[in-house]
Amino acid sequence: MMPRMKPGIRSLVCAAALALALLSGCTTVPETGRRQLMLIDAAQEAQMGLSAFADIKNQQLISNDPAANRRVREVGARIAPAVGRDLPNADWEFVVFESEEVNAFALPGGKVGVYTGLLAFADDDDELAAVVGHEIAHVSARHGAERASQQLGVALLGLGVALASEDAKHQDEIRVAYGLVATGTVLKYSRDHESEADRIGLLYMARAGYDPRAAARFWGKMAARKEAGLRMPDWFSTHPSDETRIKRIESWLPEMLPIYEANRR
């Protein structure tokens, strides 16, 4: 039988073990150099994306419009190789879904869905490429897996706090502090992911020969749509403010425009 640890030593051991687990799960986003917590296996993540996309195709109406499908596939065929690195189990597929929603999405495994509402709203393929590049950037940067890892990390942190607070004099203060840290981290990373996807998406569309200035134009139109009181996608609330977003995109253009000029068609 192992000797019973003193409460203080047990708390230190638990904290050290949790810290080691979290630190060992750190990776880097190649395009930005940002360190991220990653506790999800890439191959497993891709398999979940493939399965989810199959379900979506069974549940949502797929467009049979030849022009719409050709437009999306042509943009996708240029954006996908512009990622510049292999994605785990990527089997690229670009599907148009019938919906008035101005939106698109991408899933691990190279699966991309575009709604007909976006095709009607995007004035040209440059604007369409801005959205497709942004969505693929979420996948290549593994933002979904990072969010899941954050939630797992928060759960592990909560376990550590629970163990440590058994012997603490100020249990309520510790739990309140933990709650503030957990909530602040999750909300902040959601907005950070959107900004990072904007920057990486600009890089992808520029490499593919699409004008990155179209991104600022597109998001300006989306801002005007919101001001007009029209229905916006649910995810829009997690994005940076319209003004901040457009300013950041414009600040990145001096870096992106030479890439676009070198690859324009």
DSSP assignment of 154-201 equals: HHHHHHHHHHHHTS-S-HHHHHHHHHHHHHHHHHHHHHHHHHHHHHHH
Give the Cα separation of 92 and 112 in Å (integer): 8
pLDDT at residue 157 in the model: 60
pLDDT at residue 162 in the model: 55
Give the Cα separation of 19 and 99 in Å (integer): 45
Q: Is 93 left (phi over 0), alpha (psi -120 to 50) or beta?
A: beta
CA atoms within 13 A on the CB side of 148: 12
Give the Cα separation of 35 and 24 in Å (integer): 12
Single-letter amino acid, residue 126: D
Give the Cα separation of 23 and 150 in Å (integer): 12
pLDDT at residue 210 in the model: 98
Q: Looking at beta carbons, which pairs linking 109-115 to residues 24 or more positions away fall under 8 Å? A: 109/46, 109/47, 109/49, 109/50, 109/53, 110/80, 110/139, 111/49, 111/50, 111/53, 112/76, 112/136, 113/53, 113/56, 114/72
Rounded average pLDDT per 10-residue block, the chain, 265 residues: 48 49 71 89 90 95 98 97 87 96 94 97 98 96 86 63 53 48 48 92 98 97 80 55 91 98 93
Residue with tokens 């253009």: 253
Reply yes or no on whether 135 is catalytic: yes
Q: How far is CA 78 from CA 27, 97, 184, 204, in A?
A: 27, 20, 38, 9
84-109 tens-digit pLDDT: 887 888 899 999 999 999 999 999 99
Task: Please report which residue ranges of the chain form alpha helices under DSSP H.
Answer: 7-23, 42-59, 66-82, 116-121, 125-140, 143-165, 171-207, 213-227, 242-263
The domain segmentation of the chain, as residue ranges, is 38-263
Q: State the catalytic residue, choosing from 31, 45, 127, 135.
A: 135
